[in-house]
Amino acid sequence: MNVKQYDAIIIGAGFAGLYMLHKLRERGLSARVLEAADGVGGVWYWSRYPGAKCDSDSIYYSFTFSEELYKKWRWKDRYASQPEILQYLNFVADELNLRPDIQLKTRVTKAKFQEEAKQWEISTDQGEIFEAKYLISGVGCLSTTNIPPFEGSESFKGEQYHTGRWPHDKVDFTGKRVVVIGNGSSGVQTMQEVAKEAKEMTLLMRTPHYVAEARNHPLSKEEQEQAINNYKDIREAFFNTPGGIRLYTTGKSATAFSAKEQKEKLEHIWETGGLSLGSVFTDVSANKEANFVVSQFVRDKIDEIVEDRDTAQLLHPNYYITTKRLIIGTNFYEIFNEDHVHLVSLKDNPIERIVENGVQLKNGTVECDVIIYATGYEAMTGSLLKIDIEGRNGKTIQEKWEDGRNVKTYLGLMMESFPNLFMITGPQSPSVLTNMPAAIEQHVDWVDQCIEYLEEKGIQTIEAQKESELEWAKQCDDLANQTLYPYTNSWYTGANIDGEQRGFVIYVGGLNNYKAICDQVAANDYEGCTFEKLQSNVL
Ligand code: NA7
């Protein structure tokens, strides 16, 4: 078989894959991106559900590594919609002339480390074999969809869609009865649009979530120009703030304010919109009292907005706010005042099965013509675990991570037994707690510099040490244990799939602190790693 040889194979053509390719090519290495979809974009290629938007301000949802590139693009809205983000990523691919090195419609199925040659052998669903010194995963944190195994879904006579795998053509809901399962970001955004068309819309809700007001709006020419002129400040925010984005904060604990002042601050955020409910006070995610101030504010808002008392009560979230990703929506709670929008809590009335005319719950069937699964993703680890990755001595990633129950990485970037395999925004990095392009740029830059180091020194492999992984996992857990995150079952812990709590898979210490740690590791000649030169010359 014709084996294709590259310095690096990159999996995925989203933000991570595109930037990684650009960096490696600049370094003069041969690299190829393998992407399953028939276009670039990663999660933004697939998530085409109605109303799909990012929840970072779009002026921060861009690459900042090139001032020229940043300044060439103008975002239309405060929160960019999926089509606009997809357009942006296509613009990036063209501007940087990346397409010749991106191979679409090609899914990586297997990657095996070859001990002798000290390189990766990568197989695809197209029957091709690639060999490369470096294997870099840009598969993203949220790309393998979670469709809960409801019995009977094949018997349903109507239409069924998952928000993360939406058809390319518009789905028309006019005159239809639609059931939505799931009310995370995707469900909330979808419902706001579907409610405008559907004859009836019913949300089947397992857990009520906090939905802050987005206040999305078209950006004026002045706002666009202001973003361009603020380029340096935006880039600065990428790496010097916890979330890689400037959010509103008082810089003080909630306890520094009277109840009246707290309310004023929160009202200000509600009116100006966005994710700042989580950052307004410094201790929202760490202190139960501060957290209650903010969570009760949202519950009071729900009571103000939703007219039916029982519905308002059902919509009250009761976990610590921010311990699941805060959602932003546009008049989301208001839609429950419309006669054709219904809410069913699954708490005491769970889904039993899908039947031919709808969804059968414990207490009866909700009849419908369309079911929308807004049930999220096998977050953080799912996409890597789907690939058959085999490291040293036949050890698979599934074995190493015990099928996701015990994730072990060093900095979320590398793993013992998997030499020269780098993960961009992998588990145990700050990833989804940040503005993703910021986390991606930081990771790609770090990997690129690491590769420069290896190439300059003639090193064949780099590999995390077991002890460094243990220390890193402990650091992630210790930090998480100082916060309220572990109190909540969420996809931050993998508990959304089977309810089973796993290790905490996100570094919660902030992108700024994380970057400082990664930079220190590099400055100390990649401490915590082992190296090999060819002929097994261990350094
Ligand atoms: P999320 O945030 O994981 O939300 C998934 C939703 O689906 C959530 O409401 C879940 O309820 C619900 N769900 C999942 N499984 C079931 C079953 N079996 N029965 C009923 N309901 C279920 O995914 P999203 O796609 O909305 O958002 C992911 C990220 O993408 C988001 O943070 C943005 O960054 C973009 P639960 O809360 O688990 O009880």
Q: pLDDT tens-digit profile of 456-499?
A: 999 999 999 999 999 999 999 999 999 998 888 766 665 555 55
Query: pLDDT value at position 314?
Result: 98
User: Using CA positions, which residue lies closest to atom 23 of ligand 1?
Assistant: 376
Predicted local confidence at residue 176, as pLDDT: 98
The protein residue with its alpha carbon nearest to ligand 1, atom 28, reads: 376
pLDDT (tens digit per residue) in 414-427 = 999 999 999 999 99
| Choice between 379 and 29, residue whose per-residue pLDDT is larger | 29
Residue range 131-151, pLDDT digits in tens: 999 999 999 876 677 888 899
Helices 15-26 and 82-95: crossing angle in degrees, nearest 10, is 10
Candidate of 186, 371, 435, 493 to mutate for ligand 1, largest count of ligand atoms within 8 Å of Cβ: 186
| Ligand 1 atom nearest to CA at 496 | 38
In this prediction, residue 503 carries a pLDDT of 67
214 CB burial (10 A radius; 0-12, 13-18, 19+): buried
What is the reported pLDDT for 5? Answer: 98
For residue 108, pLDDT over 80 is answered with: yes
Cα 11 to middle of ligand 1, angstroms: 25
pLDDT attached to residue 489: 76
Task: Report the nearest atom of ligand 1 relative to the CA of 324.
Answer: 2
Atom 27 of ligand 1 has which residue's CA nearest to it? Answer: 185
Q: What is the pLDDT of residues 165-203, one digit of tens each?
A: 999 999 999 999 999 999 999 999 999 999 999 999 999
Ligand 1 centroid to Cα of residue 46, in Å, is: 16
* pLDDT band at residue 533 using 50, 70 and 90 as cut-offs: confident
pLDDT at 537 over 70: no
> Does the structure show a pLDDT above 90 at 344?
yes
Q: Ligand 1 centroid to 183 CA: how many Å?
A: 6
Long-range contacts of 38-41 (CB under 8 A, 24+ apart): 38/104, 38/105, 39/13, 39/86, 39/90, 39/104, 40/13, 40/14, 40/89, 40/90, 40/93, 40/98, 40/99, 40/102, 40/104, 41/13, 41/14, 41/85, 41/86, 41/89, 41/90
Question: pLDDT digit string (tens) for 78-97?
Answer: 999 999 999 999 999 999 99
Inform me whether the pLDDT recorded for 501 exceeds 70: no
Global pTM exceeds 0.85: yes
Q: Provide residues with CB under 6 Å of ligand 1.
A: 142, 148, 163, 181-187, 206-207, 325, 346, 351, 374-376, 491, 496
Distance 50 CA to ligand 1 centre (A): 16
502 — pLDDT class (breaks 50, 70, 90):
low
Atom number of ligand 1 nearest to Cα 182: 7
pLDDT at 499: 55
Cα 377 to averaged position of ligand 1 atoms, centre (Å): 7
The 10 Å Cβ neighbour count of residue 527 is 11
Cβ pair 452, 524 in contact under 8 A: no
Nearest CA to ligand 1 atom 36: 207
Name the residue at shortest CA distance from atom 10 of ligand 1: 182
Q: How far is the CA of 420 from the centre of ligand 1 (A)?
A: 33
The mean pLDDT value of the chain amounts to 94
CA–centroid distance, residue 144 to ligand 1 (Å): 13
Atom of ligand 1 nearest to the CA of 325: 32
Q: 317 CA to middle of ligand 1, Å?
A: 14
pLDDT at 220 over 90: yes
Q: Which residue lies with its CA nearest to atom 25 of ligand 1?
A: 376
Task: Report how far ligand 1's centroid is from the alpha carbon of 376 (Å).
Answer: 4
CA distance 27 to 272: 43
Tens-digit pLDDT profile for residues 386-417 = 899 999 999 999 999 987 788 899 999 999 99
pLDDT per residue as tens digits for the range 257-286: 999 999 999 999 999 999 999 999 999 999
Model confidence at 56: pLDDT above 60: yes
The DSSP symbol for 274 reads S
Nearest protein CA to atom 37 of ligand 1, as residue: 207
Does residue 322 carry a pLDDT above 80?
Answer: yes
How far is ligand 1, taken at its centre, from the CA of residue 42, in Å? 19
